[in-house]
Amino acid sequence: MDDLGIRLGVQELIGACTDCIDEDRLEEWPMLFTDPCKYLIISRANHAAGLRQGVMYAASRGMLLDRVMALRRANIYEPHHYRHIVGPIRVQRVEGSVAVVHSNFLAARIMHDGITDLFATGRYLDRIDMSGPQYRFSERIVVLDSEKIDTLLVIPL
């Protein structure tokens, strides 16, 4: 595939991911990942220090599905949603059928009573599998600029 085609495909996948999170179609979110996969939300400080502990981690599509099931059925929290703004999406390199892609994001959190805060900023470090008919994340590391999280994190970023 040519460079432009890759860039469009990557942009489409990242946009689809943001959409299903922000528009509360979370059940679609795990299908954007390969199985197995790696999804990790981790602070910049931990990541830079080579520490592996994040705040949310999945190693399979099943673990992603369980995240969605838990927030629908089990976990208790005040209703809220995010609004993501994803900044320049840049294909760093292509390794065979995998595109290594970096982008920046801001995520505002809108509580059910309307209070809106800047909840998280950071960087997506993606490895995107282009071998199938649909591009999928084989790895998405969400590097949070801050190691502070306000109240709780239940909806994936």
Binding positions for other proteins, rule: CB under 8 A: 41-43, 45-46, 51-63, 65-67, 69-70, 73-78, 147-154
- Taking the complex as a whole, the smallest distance from the CB of residue 109 to other proteins amounts, in Å, to 13
Choice between 9 and 57, CB closer to other proteins: 57
In a 10 Å sphere around its CB, with 0-12 CB exposed, 13-18 middle and 19+ buried, how is residue 23 labelled? exposed
Phi, psi at 153, each rounded to 5°: -125, 110
- Taking the complex as a whole, the smallest distance from the CB of residue 43 to other proteins amounts, in Å, to 6
Choice between 80 and 101, CB closer to other proteins: 80
Quick check: 16 and 26 in contact, CB under 8 A? no
Choice between 42 and 107, CB closer to other proteins: 42
In a 10 Å sphere around its CB, with 0-12 CB exposed, 13-18 middle and 19+ buried, how is residue 50 labelled? exposed
Name residues whose C-beta falls within 8 Å of residue 78's C-beta, 6 or more positions apart in sequence. Answer: 111, 112
Choice between 69 and 100, CB closer to other proteins: 69
- Taking the complex as a whole, the smallest distance from the CB of residue 110 to other proteins amounts, in Å, to 16
- Taking the complex as a whole, the smallest distance from the CB of residue 104 to other proteins amounts, in Å, to 20
């299908």: which residue's tokens?
Answer: 31
Choice between 101 and 157, CB closer to other proteins: 157
Record the tokens describing residue 149, joined without a space.
Answer: 């999280």
Report the DSSP pairing between strands 98-111 and 80-86: antiparallel
Closest CA to 28 of 40, 36, 18, 38: 18
- Taking the complex as a whole, the smallest distance from the CB of residue 155 to other proteins amounts, in Å, to 9
